[in-house]
A = this chain, B = another copy of it.
Amino acid sequence: MKILISNDDGINSEGIFALAESLSEIAEITVVAPLMEQSAVGHAITMQIPLRVTKSYKEGKFFGYAVNGTPADCIKIGIRNIMKEPPDLVVSGINHGSNTAINIIYSGTVSAAREAAIMDVPAMAVSVTNHDVKDFKFAAKLTKLLAKEIAGKDIPKGTLLNVNVPDVDENDIAGIILTKQGKSKWDDIYEQRIDPYGRDYYWLTGNLMEVDKEIEIDQVAIKKNYVSVSPIHFDLTDYETFKKMKTWNIEHLLNGKKN
């Protein structure tokens, strides 16, 4: 099995080290990850500047390829130019911090896995629910189990798994549960400050407003110490509203030009 590994925290982060170590026990791994931290870059791709690929080392040994771009860039160039052919699986992570509910939209970790799904490669994004992660060991071990599980299953092309692991002792993990994306959102606050030159600047902060209650929702599951596994895709069409809007007869806007 060949696995391409990436992340959004950058190639020199603890989470990707733990992931690479664990997955190398079951597969031939290739690491292609951002040179610099790329948290909250969403599904950005780099078109305005050229990309550079450099070799990256860990304790004097070759670890992987660093790219001066985004997580999605890493997957594209990793598959097209570095691996030359698609791997059996792409795993993005292990992220420092959860990617549930609305955070999936902003997440660089998820975008790497989603880019793989766009390229018809099975993929998963893995996150631990704490920015200051105590221990990646359990998440790394679980990812290995899930990688083997996915290998034997028929996940539809274009679908990826978004996995969130509570940052608690393995003995305190309640179980593993299939979930849907939650509806919790951030109540954004821009802290207004004044720089040493007397000019205003703004830092984004805020609180996640938790609105979901069902255990089959990602954000609820992790709060109850369950590992959360959500199948997600990149078809953004709102089919219900599509049906409803049929009754609008929008063609009247163009004065009788019928479609």
Contact = CB atoms under 8 A, between A and B. Distances in A.
B173 A76 contact: no
A81 to B, nearest CB: 5
Contacts of A259: 174-177, 215, 226
A42 B104 CA distance: 12
B203 A254 contact: no
A174 B61 CA distance: 61
Nearest to A39: B47
B52 A199 contact: yes
Contact of A204 (B42, B45, B204): B45
Interface in A49-105: 50-53, 72-73, 76-77, 80-81, 102, 104-105
Contact of A146 (B37, B104, B193, B253): B253
Contact of A202 (B50, B215, B248): B50
Residue among A181, A233, A259 with the most chain B CB within 10 A?
A259
A236 to B, nearest CB: 4
